[in-house]
Structure 1
Amino acid sequence: MTSEENINYHYNRTNSNSSQDKKSIDEEISANEKAIKDEESEVESLRRLIAPLSKEQLIDILATSALIHQDIRDKCNEAVASSPSTRRLMVRNIPFSTRDEQFLKYFETFGEIEDGIIVREKEGRSKGYGFVTFKYVESVQKCLKSSHTLDNKELQVPNTFNYPISFVPNIYTNVPHGYQLNYPANLDSFNAFYSNTRY
């Protein structure tokens, strides 16, 4: 083989390899695009499926799923914890003599605080209410479970977000009339019931 033939041979071989590489890359890209489109269409079909459900039904389904699947529970906690408004409580009936430091120190007993303030008039006199923002949702729930007294006065901490005091779905009570659920009576048997492969 002459040097010119050798060069042409290598050139053709390189071009055929690069065209094969290009084809395989194009095939891989089109396969990825198809997978993304399939996933998007699956998401859209799921959205259409759950669109007619009420908020109450969606909450029950999500709560039940979160009990069974830890990754769903983690996503729920992450979504709730990401917004400060879900970790902020309004506190009413604060004694007018209470200082901000006393207020914050009292609520630190329930967990780490991001922010807290007693609302005051322009002159600096307390209006008798304030806000406390906890770092974690668990602290909010712990605070809501307790009664509160500061400077010998009972504080009012309303559950303004309707947080459940404990994370248990309402599947036992939200049953249409005429239906009977055969669910187990406690959480351990509930988890065992759903971990059974035949369901």
Structure 2
Amino acid sequence: MEDLKKRKMEEMEEMGNNDQLSTQEELRSLLDPLAKSQLVDLLSRLGSQYPSIAEEIKSIASSDPVHRKLFVRGLAWNTTSETLCAAFRMHGEIEEGAVIYDKATGKSRGYGFVTYKHMESAHSALGAPSKLIDGRMAVCNLACEGLTGASTTPDLAQRKLYIGGLSPDVTSEMLLNYFGRHGEIEEGSVAYDKDTNESRGFGFVTYKTIEAAKKAIDDPQKILGGRTIIVKLADTHKGKPVQTQAPAAAVVPLAMPMAPGYPQLGKAHPSATPAGYAYTQPVAPYQASSYSSPAAAPAPYPSQSTIPYASIAAKKDPQGIPPTTPMGMSGYPYYIGK
């Protein structure tokens, strides 16, 4: 009797497991075609209603480095991996942290990565993204966001300032302290030469608010390091007129002086015989031995006169010299007597 009951219980459990498997497969088939946004919305609603689902979501997310790895940019050229980690250790235990160096030169590329052991530590660091490290204001954001994750708000152009005319003695820390009186700074530093690590005479400051940036621009006292400095929007500096190459002069086709009746370039002619080559009246052949008939004359020199050449040949010019050239050739005028 006991064996019979045991068998029935095992059969019921097996049926329950089969039902569960069929339900999971059915749910997967329903969820698979859904878009990511739909799945995120569904899970977020379920997580807010059922604490157990919320804990499972947090556990899975925390195990993925995408929520624990930070990208840190704006580092000084002399910042090391040790000083980078020291600046971020205040937010929690660091699993890994390193400054990225150029393989060819061995010099810092000005950025690095910090991976926390727990997701909550990364969120704490993101709450205060700007950090002064080795005299420069570094900025961090999630590595999965790359450069698009920080300082890309639509009003950035009105918050980022270009600072010019700086003394070589002005450091990034001095720059930040000077402009910090106008408001909270999100990012800023002096621009340094990568090879010499010397100041290039300018820098940038990005405020957290537009109002602070306006105060810095409108401040009449712009003296730092014993010099009068230039303060203006960074986009204005980038957008200053740039000398461009003068456009090549347009080539305008000019009509060449040609003998009347010569076909003009670029114009189509309705017939095979160019206009102007037909004579309105037959021309009497020239009798002089030095000149052949018009049929043998060069093509560009057709006659345009309706007066027989023989009647003209008998005429003399005012000086008594008879014409020696056929009518119509450029540069050889003939005279019809008075």
In the superposition, the TM-score normalised over structure 2's length comes to 0.39
Identity value in percent: 30
From 19, 22, 26, the counterpart of 1:45: 26
In the aligned structure 1, how far is the partner of 2:61 from the partner of 2:11?
37
In the aligned structure 2, how far is the partner of 1:114 from the partner of 1:135?
5
From 122, 125, 147, the counterpart of 2:129: 147
More helix by share: 1
The residue number in structure 1 matching 2:140 is 157
Between structure 1 and structure 2, the one with the greater Rg is: 2
Deviation at 1:74, TM superposition (A): 0.6
Q: Secondary structure at the match of 1:52?
A: coil
Q: Secondary structure at the match of 1:156?
A: strand
Q: Which moved more, 1:78-87 or 1:128-137?
A: 78-87
In the aligned structure 2, how far is the partner of 1:117 from the partner of 1:160?
13
The residue number in structure 2 matching 1:187 is none
Contact 2:77 2:109 (8 Å CA) reproduced: yes
In the aligned structure 2, how far is the partner of 1:145 from the partner of 1:61?
27
Deviation at 1:133, TM superposition (A): 0.7
Say whether residues 1:116 and 2:79 are aligned partners: no
From 71, 92, 101, the counterpart of 1:90: 71
In the aligned structure 1, how far is the partner of 2:3 from the partner of 2:140?
65
- Give aligned pairs, total: 143
Q: Secondary structure at the match of 2:141?
A: coil
The residue number in structure 2 matching 1:103 is 84
Q: Which moved more, 1:95-104 or 1:59-68?
A: 59-68
Contact 2:67 2:142 (8 Å CA) reproduced: no
In the superposition, the TM-score normalised over structure 1's length comes to 0.63
Q: Secondary structure at the match of 1:97?
A: coil
Q: Which moved more, 1:59-68 or 1:120-129?
A: 120-129
| Two-structure CA RMSD over aligned residues (Å) | 2.1
In the aligned structure 2, how far is the partner of 1:107 from the partner of 1:135?
12
In the aligned structure 2, how far is the partner of 1:139 from the partner of 1:45?
38
Which one scores higher on RCO, CA 8 angstroms, separation ≥ 6?
A: 1
Q: Secondary structure at the match of 1:48?
A: helix
The one-letter amino acid of 1:24's match is K
The one-letter amino acid of 2:57's match is C
The residue number in structure 1 matching 2:62 is 81
The one-letter amino acid of 1:154's match is M
In the aligned structure 1, how far is the partner of 2:65 from the partner of 2:35?
26
More strand by share: 2
Deviation at 1:160, TM superposition (A): 4.2
Deviation at 1:127, TM superposition (A): 2.1
1:58-95 superposed Cα distances (whole Å, 9 cap, x missing partner)? 11121122223211111011001112343111222221
In the aligned structure 2, how far is the partner of 1:116 from the partner of 1:40?
43
1:146-198 superposed Cα distances (whole Å, 9 cap, x missing partner)? 23232232323233446xxxxxxxxxxxxxxxxxxxxxxxxxxxxxxxxxxxx
In the aligned structure 2, how far is the partner of 1:132 from the partner of 1:159?
10
Say whether residues 1:138 and 2:120 are aligned partners: yes
